[in-house]
Amino acid sequence: MFNGASDNATGIAALIELGRAFAATEPRPARSLMFVAVTAEESGLLGSQHFAENPPAPVASMAGGLNMDNLYAIGKTRDITVIGYGASELDDYLRRAAATQDR
């Protein structure tokens, strides 16, 4: 078995493409963006734990996080799962994006 063969591959591909897109965005976003790839999920979220215990920036300055795992690679999808809705300042962005798709 090859843990992460699909979910890690699609997540990292999306992470790279989002990084490229934001690097080319003009005007620049008002906030700094941090793209983080963690490892060892199957071994107990070790990469996530390390990031949480050793943040490269003050946690209080982080507005939110987006975890991309096992992206659907066969055309468009209609579904998204939001964990923590109501717990960050990012809800308005999500609401507006969903509204543009009649959701």
* CB neighbour list of residue 22: distance below 8 Å, 6 or more residues apart: 29, 33
What's the pTM?
A: 0.67
Q: What is the full per-residue pLDDT of the chain (103 aa) written as tens digits?
A: 666 677 778 888 889 999 999 999 999 988 889 999 888 777 788 888 999 999 999 999 888 887 777 777 777 777 777 888 888 778 888 889 889 988 8
- Contact yes or no for 69/14 (Cβ under 8 A): no
* CB neighbour list of residue 32: distance below 8 Å, 6 or more residues apart: 57
